[in-house]
Amino acid sequence: MNRQKTILIIEDEKDISRILRDYLTKNKFEAAIAGNGKDGLHMMELLQPDYIILDIMLPDIDGIDLCREIREKSNVPILILSARGSDTDKVLGLGFGADDYMTKPFSLSELLARINAHFRRYESMAVAQQDPDSLSLGNLVIDKKAYKVTVDGKEAALSAKEFELLYHLASHKNQVFSKTQLLDAVWGYESYGDENSVTVYIRRLREKIEADPSHPAYLKTVWGVGYKFSLD
């Protein structure tokens, strides 16, 4: 999870690239240097870096063109370094797929703060997007890895589709789904749009997980719309 992130520095001024590399290495990153655009592209494909610091003035290729070229191959975040301080360059840089921009001379600690902020944002997004393996809701535990549901610690025997329907609803707590949306999400394109099967599955699920299936505590009907999983 916390593997070291690799940062590729594409910069021809050796003083700057070495200071950057040492500073990043000291701050728990792996850092590699490419001294021109051609090496930069090559190393990008070789190292698959997690982040690129790109100088705009390179001996062999314009940094903006290189930025565009990298962007065609990869979504890796790119921070552009430039000695030119004008706003035009700033807009131009961001328009060609760069994620951030700093003007030389820059502060190492500010650069590090920006890189760290990027990875924090990225990681919190990755966590939010990940489906949880196990959901614990009320007296239900829904274990996605084992395809197993327990009610008050006792296993409920669900079919695979029943499980998937329950997991879909429970992992989007309080969100209302129409029968069509549930068909799409759980049965996908193999289904022939028979919304009645959703009704049947919901009824079966209620019989298996609800203490009183006619007054469900979890799988609620939203009249005229569809269903939601809610503890309210």
Q: What residue ranges bind Ca ion (CB under 5 A)? A: 12, 55, 57
Closer Cβ to Ca ion, 35 or 77, answer by number: 35
Minimal CB distance residue for Ca ion = 57
Closer Cβ to Ca ion, 14 or 121, answer by number: 14
Closer Cβ to Ca ion, 55 or 164, answer by number: 55
What is the smallest separation between the CB atom of 71 and Ca ion, expressed in angstroms?
Answer: 20
What is the smallest separation between the CB atom of 174 and Ca ion, expressed in angstroms?
Answer: 53
Closer Cβ to Ca ion, 9 or 24, answer by number: 9
Q: How far apart are CA 144 and CA 134, in angstroms?
A: 6
What is the smallest separation between the CB atom of 103 and Ca ion, expressed in angstroms?
Answer: 13
What is the smallest separation between the CB atom of 62 and Ca ion, expressed in angstroms?
Answer: 11
Cβ neighbors of 23 (< 8 A, separation 6 or more) are 108, 112
Closer Cβ to Ca ion, 78 or 165, answer by number: 78
Region of residue 194 (phi > 0: left; psi between -120 and 50: alpha; otherwise: beta):
beta
What is the smallest separation between the CB atom of 226 and Ca ion, expressed in angstroms?
Answer: 58
Q: What is the DSSP string of 75-129?
A: ---EEEEES---HHHHHHHHHTT-SEEEESS--HHHHHHHHHHHHHHHHHHHHHH
